[in-house]
Structure 1
């Protein structure tokens, strides 16, 4: 059965910044933080590490970085969806700027994921693209300008609020993440308090001086935002603001 994600959530990607044991150790630390703060954490693992991460963590929702759509059979070197699911992946990233896809292929991949009860996590470069993708009704959309990814500069709060508004006008149940250029817990907090269902980071964690500390800070910020939303408190209370430009 497809996992139900509690919001706000956090998503961690490692891309190819790290591999092997380093992925495993980061996943274990993320699992501990997910338990510590009672936050749902998605972990985008490299193909070779999916099974190891899935079988040795309890709270992580492991997702694959990409998949093809061909059925079992011929197709050597294609990434078979059934194989990913059997390895422990519970979802898949679709249309990341480093693995772009046509709208037709995005739709086909979303439908393939639905057929296997896998989460569809779709990236979009602009609000316009996000609105188009929303028509295919994926589970999660991550609108992130590709020029900001890995740059250390994040989307401004106006872009974040606009993308949430436009996506949910198509299907209110689509979850919207903000992730481009996030390097601090305060950014995570601000995005969630501004309406995002979740936040995520890749280089902001694995490229940090202390990746474990960065991971903990960001997941703790998700918990903090969740608590404030639950209490109905003013998120501007005595908080510094982040310059997103």
Structure 2
């Protein structure tokens, strides 16, 4: 699983984002891997309308129901726009534990998948009781550094895999922070992860297809 958070990078909004989507579709055909893209909310509809096999996620959604919540992200709205899932509790958009549980329950009721982020193994294990689709462990100090967690702190991956699976064997485990190459991904998979969550390694790339191809080699 290759999950790519497009965050708020201008390089992947609108028509530029569709170039990344097109490259992702080619990589899926060539390597038979799963790819998730999480674009800006304003791009969810156009991404989902042009996607064939890439799964489109929201970057966040709020634990609210339809009503007077100016500026909030309504779960039903992202589903209506075509998203099949959402990222939850990213280090740049954190939620408290009560709201995490609410959002996951709402997602389940709407048949939306979830990537629940945690900053360490202990938190990942504790949050796995909420039964997200994926748990993504990302040490915040490595995010955006280009220093891969799979090499800098491999014990975090091993501990997360062991601790999470002791509590919930169904949840799939992603790792993130500093993932930049196929070699980084290969190492993460060898340590027991099911995939990776990354951002700038792709969004800041000058050639989306070539970058994705390099990353996809790690899944061989």
TM-score (norm 1): 0.85
CA distance in 1, matches of 2:207, 2:21: 15
Give 1:37's aligned residue.
31
CA distance in 2, matches of 1:173, 1:186: 26
Indicate the SS of the match to 2:62.
Answer: coil
Cα offset for 1:78? 1.4
Unaligned segments of structure 2, at least 5 residues: none
Residues 27 and 213, structure 2, Cα contact 8 Å, conserved in 1? yes
Residues 23 and 208, structure 2, Cα contact 8 Å, conserved in 1? no
Residues 13 and 202, structure 1, Cα contact 8 Å, conserved in 2? yes
Cα offset for 1:173? 0.6
Per-residue CA deviation, residues 210-234 of structure 1 (Å, 9 max, x unaligned), is 3321111112322x0xxxxxxxxxx
Match of 2:210 among 196, 210, 213: 213
Give 2:114's aligned residue.
120
Higher helix share: 2
Unaligned segments of structure 1, at least 5 residues: 1-8, 225-245
CA distance in 2, matches of 1:22, 1:209: 11
Name the Cα RMSD after superposition: 1.2
Residues 114 and 134, structure 2, Cα contact 8 Å, conserved in 1? yes
Q: Are 2:178 and 1:181 equivalent residues in the alignment?
A: yes
Indicate the SS of the match to 1:121.
Answer: strand
Give 2:78's aligned residue.
84
Matching of residues 64-143 of structure 1 within 5 Å: 64-143=58-137
Cα offset for 1:73? 2.5
CA distance in 1, matches of 2:218, 2:147: 19
CA distance in 1, matches of 2:77, 2:184: 36
Residues 24 and 49, structure 1, Cα contact 8 Å, conserved in 2? no
Higher mean displacement: 9-18 or 174-183:
9-18
Matching of residues 166-177 of structure 1 within 5 Å: 166-177=163-174
CA distance in 2, matches of 1:28, 1:109: 30
Give 1:192's aligned residue.
189
Number of residue pairs aligned between Structure 1 and Structure 2:
215
Give 1:16's aligned residue.
8
Per-residue CA deviation, residues 23-82 of structure 1 (Å, 9 max, x unaligned), is 111111111111211111111111011111111111111110001121122222211110
Higher mean displacement: 111-120 or 200-209:
200-209
The structure having more radius of gyration, on CA atoms, is: 1
CA distance in 2, matches of 1:208, 1:74: 40
TM-score (norm 2): 0.94
CA distance in 1, matches of 2:206, 2:57: 25
Higher mean displacement: 82-91 or 18-27:
18-27
Give 1:242's aligned residue.
none
Cα offset for 1:209? 4.1
Structure 1 stretches of 4+ moved >4 Å: none
